[in-house]
Structures are given as structure tokens and as C-alpha cells.
Amino acid sequence: MDPSLETGSTNPTPILRPKPSALSDAIMLDRVVLRNDLRLYIRAAWPVVEPATVYLENWHIDLIAGHFEAAWADSDLSGPSSACCKSTCTSIMWPT
């Protein structure tokens, strides 16, 4: 028997989803922003790379990101280095 012919049947509420083009645009925007700002990329990638560790943004992350971005732009790398989470930033997040 056809369920649409039954009396008293209700239509389910449709699931509202973003248009594929809007979702694609948002993903592309994130990709561009995160590709061009290592500090923001580290913040976004941290829960994926280190899910058991709480990410606490601090000056040393900015310093590490700044040094790597300067290296990428062939700039001078003189200045102090950080001792906190440098391995994760340098060996996992910077190459990606």
C-alpha cells in the first residue's frame, strides 16, 4: 500500500543543507586563508594533529609561524627561538 495515500500521515520536515556552491566557496576561502597564514593554520590544525592536547595560543606560536613564513619568503631568520611545541609546528604543521 502506498504510504502517501494513508490518512493521517505527515510529511517529514525536509533537511536544510547549504547549496553545494556555497559550501564549496567556504571551503575554498578557508583553504586560501589557512594557506597564507601559518598561525591560523596551526590553530585550525591543532585539534586534528594533537587531539589530546589543549591548544593554547601564545607569543611563541606567532614567533615560530613568523620565522617560517619569513623563510618561505627568503627573509632573515635572526631572533630568538621557542622551546614550546616547536617539534609539532616544524615537523608536522609547517610541511603540510
Domain ranges of the chain: 57-76+83-96
pLDDT tier at 10, thresholds 50, 70, 90:
low
Q: Between these two residues, 2 and 55, which has the higher pLDDT value? A: 55
Let me know: does 77 contact 67? Beta carbons within 8 Å: yes
Output the pLDDT for position 77: 43
DSSP 8-state class, residue 16: P
Nearest to 40 by CA among 49, 48, 30: 30
Burial of 40 per CB tally in 10 Å (0-12, 13-18, 19+): middle
Q: What is the maximal distance between C-alpha atoms in the chain?
A: 78
Render pLDDT for 40-92 as a digit per residue (tens, 0 to 9).
999 888 999 899 999 998 999 999 899 888 877 754 444 455 456 777 777 78
